[in-house]
Each structure stands twice: as C-alpha cells, then as structure tokens.
Amino acid sequence: MNMHFNRSIPDVIGDVVHQVTTLIRKETQLARAEMSEKMGQAVSGIALAIFGAVLAIPALVIVLEAIVAGLMRAGLPVYWSALIVGGVALIIGIALLVAGANRLKADNLVPQKTIHQLQRDAEVAAHEASNEHGINRAA
C-alpha cells in the first residue's frame, strides 16, 4: 500500500495546530455550557427548597401542635406528648437535612459530559498517533 501525499510539512503542522485549537475551543464551550446548566440546576434547587421551607414551617408547627393535642386527649401528659412529637420531628428533620446536603455535594456539579468527551478525544488522538506511527514504520 503506497501512499503519496502532496502536502508540505508546514501545511500539515498548520492544519494540526488549527484542528487542535478548534478542538480546545469546542471543548471549552461544552464545559461552559455544562457548568451553566449544572449551576442553574443547583440555583433552582436551592430556591425551591427555600420557598418550600418558608411555606412548610408554619404548616408543620400547626400539624405538630395538633398531634400533641391529640396525644394529650388520649391521656398522655403534656410534657410526654410534646417530647414524643418533638423527638420524631427532630429525627425526620435531621434525615431530610442529610439527604438534601448529599444532593448539593460538589460531585453532582462536575461536568461529566465534558470529562467524557475529553477522554474520548484523548483516546482518538492516541489511536491516530499509534496508527500514524505504524504507517511511518511501514514506509
């Protein structure tokens, strides 16, 4: 298999530099777009959580007071009723707080698509380099 190329070395080098520059520019644009998307998701998630908390807190207090009143009506003393309801609410609140904090970890904001694309680019470049090296050896 005899290959003949009519391009000069400066043309080839210029083409490679242009392609690498274009690739870097495209990857940067992808990273920016993905980070904007991730930040938008985080901001909207925080806003929804705050709005939900503002509405839920007064409602939760009323519901908890109603449960205390129900336990008192069932015959429990006021302090036991309040302690039971407060303890259960505290445990549920801590569990929800931990679950919410886990969703806001930095790992969830990593631009996975960009990282995957960069890994694919590196694999293709390595494959092309090994193929070119094999062609040069045969020539």
For Cα atoms 15, 18, 24, give the angle at the middle one, nearest 5 degrees. 140
Q: Considering only CA atoms, which of 41, 48, 50 is closest in space to residue 111?
A: 41
- Three-class HEC string of 33-97: HHHHHHHHHHHHHHHHHHHHHHHHHHHHHHHHHHHHHHHHHCCCCHHHHHHHHHHHHHHHHHHHH
Choice between 110 and 36, residue whose per-residue pLDDT is larger: 36
pLDDT at 69: 96
pLDDT at 5: 63
Choice between 135 and 17, residue whose per-residue pLDDT is larger: 17
Cβ contact 15:95 at 8 Å: no
Band the pLDDT of 3: cuts 50, 70, 90.
Answer: low
pLDDT > 90 fraction of the chain, expressed in percent and rounded: 30
List the single range of 26-30, 32-36, 46-50, 129-133 with lowest mean pLDDT. 129-133
Choice between 88 and 16, residue whose per-residue pLDDT is larger: 88
Q: What is the mean pLDDT of the chain?
A: 83
Specify the pTM. 0.44
Tokens at 91, concatenated: 């445990």
Q: Is the pLDDT of residue 136 over 70?
A: no
